[in-house]
Amino acid sequence: MKAVKIQVIEGEKWRAKADSLYLDYRPVNAERGNIFASDGSLLATSLPMFELRMDTRATGMTDDIFYDNVDSLSRCLASLEGSPYTYGGYRDRLLKAKKNGERYMLIQKNVTYPELQEIKKFPLFRLGRYTGGLIVEKRSKRRKPFKMLAHRTIGYVRENAKSVGLEGAFNQLLAGEQGQRLMQRISGSTWIPVNDLTEIEPKNGQDIVTTIDVNIQDVTENALKKALIKHNAKHGCAVVMEVKTGKIRAIANIGKTEEGSLWENYNYAVGASTEPGSTFKLAAMMALLEDKLVRLEDSVDLFKGQMEFAGEMMEDATYHALERATVKKVFEISSNVGIASLVHQHYKKTGNAADFIQHLKDFRLHQMTGIEIEGEGEPYIKEAFQDDWSHITLPWMSTGYEVRVTPLQLLTFYNAVANNGRMMKPYLVEEVQEVGVPLQVFKPTVLKRSIASYRTIQQAKALLEAVVETGTAKHIKFDGFKVAGKTGTVITNYRTGMPDNQKKYQASFAGFFPADNPAYSCIVVINNPVEKGYYGATVAAPVFREIAGKCYATHTAAHQAINTIKKPNLIAQKLPSEKVGNKQDFKEIMTYLDLPNKEKTKADWAVLTTAKDTVQVERRRFIPKKVPDVTGMGLKDALFLLGNEGLKVKTKGSGTIYRQSLIPGTATKGQTIYLDLK
């Protein structure tokens, strides 16, 4: 009676219960979206990979079918590239699995799609899912085609670890929506698919297009790596930003691993909030200029580079022996004493100190940029006479101590100066796409319309340009275009009375180029250089120079088109003259070069002379059986003439003949003539 009740009356209930315990719809991950550079180059993509397993108790797999195919299947599996087992090893594993009734035996991991198509043709497996027992589970592997390029900024998403970079910030869009697949639980937490189909298809993730320029990124990373190796530095970063928009065209973060190799192990540009050193002097100088407390031509006492503030001695980085200098010169040589004394003199009172701090806030140096990726470091600007304020705080703040900013935050400030005061929000993503169709477009964002008056901005730009023209960074200036910027050096473990051999430094350079019409701003920060210098001018500035030079060379918008340049008037000194040769050759050349000319002879041989802005083609006379005058000729024409007169020719040099051994007009008797060319 009980058995009948369970099987017949309550049968449907218990069968449903059994299905709920052993069958379930399990999630299927979607294909993760791609990350592109601004030109469409792939920065990160998901490659489909497959994990192959075998159900030795598949419904249609009889013992006869299995044992008839096990040998040939083992041979095929052993032939796979990178196979971990021999033919005998695979055969033993398959026989053991069949004996034990394994339903989820691992065959191969990380199988590519072409390999999968071949494996499906193997003996036994080609009989299908329910007879051959092949279980195919799709996995995706994230790949970065450019390897280390922008590695930390692109980031990653991992289980049981904090997501970083763009992968983490845009994970929801990139991940897509999961699908569902009917799975059967066979033991513990092991689930196998009931069939090869997905009942509810997953929705693939969306793609994102970044602002990264792969060429500028490559230049930036290579320049930074070379500097880290040369100076045996701990780590460094460099960022290149488009001035008008705030688009980050390159962001490199490179540090040493425990093994001593270089890798992008942390986003220093975004996350490292440190004392910036002398690059912060621009903010101090702009505060003074904004309040009209100084003029660039004013004179400042420098006391040969040493000055005491409340019992603490401040020194300039290098000895200069100057007693006084103009404000402009003080900034050019990056005098700590000069900048600190000006700030201390004008802002030391309580109310005035608050004005100085307010200017730093006007420059937004107390706020984060709001960059898309997580982990941005918080800046730190003290409140006047609060937050451990002391009698030396103002002078030390003015030189980049007792404040903290990240490289990106400081670059955003410099970029605003380059952009005539308009501060742009730095950003890394331009678009979100689906199958190439834009779904979201991120446009430039203005953080502040003007951080200072037009007058102050123009003076600040002039100061930064002077640093490169005649100041601490004069060794990085270019002949073809101008750059503007500021060197920075800070002692990261500073304390009073510390011996020089125990000090650790951070070198930096921030600026923009071309100075007259800025296209890009850039900051370079290198931490703890221990060989071949440690100043910003010798460690960071050369990296900036290499980046600027290569960026300018490829930035066609910064170059004036040749056909728009006014054609200069020709002057006689720059026209070809005293050249001797075949008249017809001269005519063809001058026609091709569009040179104004006047023909004054019908003879075959001619000499060129100039009259004002015109080339004159005049006759060059040669007398038969006499040595001709071949000076001014090319070698080809000279050999023709001299050979016709029966002369033997010896030459030295290349170019145009400027001297001959036989005097012109000498009777020819088959002599040897020596020609010098240059």
pLDDT digits (tens, 9 = 90+) for 217-244: 999 999 999 999 999 999 999 999 999 9
CATH number assigned to the domain covering 216-558: 3.40.710.10
Candidates 199, 201, 208; CA nearest to 178 is 201
How confident is the model over 575-579, as a mean pLDDT?
65
Identify the weakest region by mean pLDDT among 203-207, 264-268, 482-486, 556-560: 556-560
Identify the weakest region by mean pLDDT among 58-62, 146-150, 301-305, 568-572: 568-572
Candidates 59, 56, 94; CA nearest to 76 is 94
DSSP secondary structure, 4-26, as one string? HIIIIISHHHHHHHHHHHHEEEE
Q: Identify the band that residue 196 occupies on the pLDDT scale cut at 50, 70 and 90.
A: low
Q: Is a pLDDT exceeding 70 seen at residue 578?
A: no
Q: Identify the band that residue 560 occupies on the pLDDT scale cut at 50, 70 and 90.
A: low
Tokens (6 digits) for 275: 């004392």
How confident is the model over 437-465, as a mean pLDDT?
97
How confident is the model over 314-332, as a mean pLDDT?
92
Q: Is a pLDDT exceeding 60 seen at residue 73?
A: yes
Q: Is a pLDDT exceeding 70 seen at residue 20?
A: no
How confident is the model over 154-162, as a mean pLDDT?
86
Whole-number Cα distances in Å, 446 to 71, 335, 370: 70, 33, 12
Matching residue, tokens 């066979």: 186
How confident is the model over 91-112, as a mean pLDDT?
90
Candidates 138, 77, 68, 129; CA nearest to 98 is 68
* N-terminal to C-terminal alpha carbon distance within the chain: 122
CATH number assigned to the domain covering 572-677: 3.30.10.20
How confident is the model over 622-647, as a mean pLDDT?
87
Q: Is a pLDDT exceeding 70 seen at residue 18?
A: no
Tokens (6 digits) for 615: 């080339």
Which residue ranges does the chain devote to CATH 3.40.710.10? 216-558
- What pTM was estimated for this model as a whole? 0.75
Q: Is a pLDDT exceeding 50 seen at residue 539?
A: yes
Identify the weakest region by mean pLDDT among 265-269, 467-471, 636-640: 636-640
Rounded CA separation 510/269 (Å): 13
Strand partners, 239: 251, 523
Half-sphere exposure of 428 (CA within 13 A, CB side): 26
Q: Is a pLDDT exceeding 60 seen at residue 54?
A: yes
Cβ neighbours of residue 185 closer than 8 Å, sequence gap 6 or more: 21, 22, 23, 24, 191
Q: Is a pLDDT exceeding 60 seen at residue 312?
A: yes
pLDDT score for 572 = 47
Per DSSP bridges, beta strands 605-611 and 648-653 are unpaired
How confident is the model over 444-461, as a mean pLDDT?
97
Average predicted confidence (pLDDT) for the chain: 89
Half-sphere exposure of 417 (CA within 13 A, CB side): 29
Q: Is a pLDDT exceeding 80 seen at residue 650?
A: yes
Q: Identify the band that residue 17 occupies on the pLDDT scale cut at 50, 70 and 90.
A: low
Q: Identify the band that residue 19 occupies on the pLDDT scale cut at 50, 70 and 90.
A: very low
Q: Identify the band that residue 497 occupies on the pLDDT scale cut at 50, 70 and 90.
A: confident
Residue 160 CB neighbour total at 10 angstroms: 4
Candidates 83, 102, 61; CA nearest to 186 is 102
Which residue ranges does the chain devote to CATH 3.30.10.20? 572-677
Most confident of 25-29, 132-136, 299-303, 626-630: 299-303
pLDDT score for 189 = 67
Whole-number Cα distances in Å, 86 to 82, 95, 109, 493: 11, 14, 16, 60
Rounded CA separation 139/28 (Å): 10
User: pLDDT (tens digit, 9 = 90+) per residue, 34-47?
Assistant: 999 999 999 999 88
**Between residues 665 and 209, which one has the greater pLDDT?**
209
How confident is the model over 381-396, as a mean pLDDT?
92
Element (H, E) at 92: helix 87-100
68-71-75-80 Cα dihedral, nearest 10 degrees: 70
Q: Identify the band that residue 188 occupies on the pLDDT scale cut at 50, 70 and 90.
A: low
pLDDT score for 563 = 66
Candidates 322, 362, 328, 360; CA nearest to 342 is 328
Candidates 578, 652, 660, 584; CA nearest to 627 is 660
Per DSSP bridges, beta strands 190-193 and 207-210 are unpaired
How confident is the model over 342-347, as a mean pLDDT?
95
Q: Is a pLDDT exceeding 80 seen at residue 368?
A: yes
pLDDT score for 430 = 97
Strand partners, 36: 42, 209
**Between residues 575 and 213, which one has the greater pLDDT?**
213
Rounded CA separation 586/573 (Å): 18
Q: Domain 2-209 has what CATH class? A: alpha beta
Tell me if residue 178 falls in helix, strand or coil: coil
Cβ neighbours of residue 522 closer than 8 Å, sequence gap 6 or more: 238, 239, 240, 241, 411, 510, 511, 512, 513, 544, 547, 548
Rounded CA separation 277/223 (Å): 22
**Ramachandran assignment for 201, one of left (phi > 0), alpha (psi -120 to 50 degrees), beta (any other):** beta
How confident is the model over 144-153, as a mean pLDDT?
89
pLDDT over 90 percentage in the chain: 58
Rounded CA separation 103/272 (Å): 52
Tokens (6 digits) for 498: 């510390």
pLDDT score for 590 = 79
Rounded CA separation 246/212 (Å): 12
Length of the chain: 678
pLDDT score for 93 = 93
Q: Is a pLDDT exceeding 90 seen at residue 401?
A: yes
Q: Identify the band that residue 351 occupies on the pLDDT scale cut at 50, 70 and 90.
A: confident
pLDDT score for 569 = 55
Written as one letter, the residue type at 655 is G
Cβ neighbours of residue 129 closer than 8 Å, sequence gap 6 or more: 58, 135, 195, 196
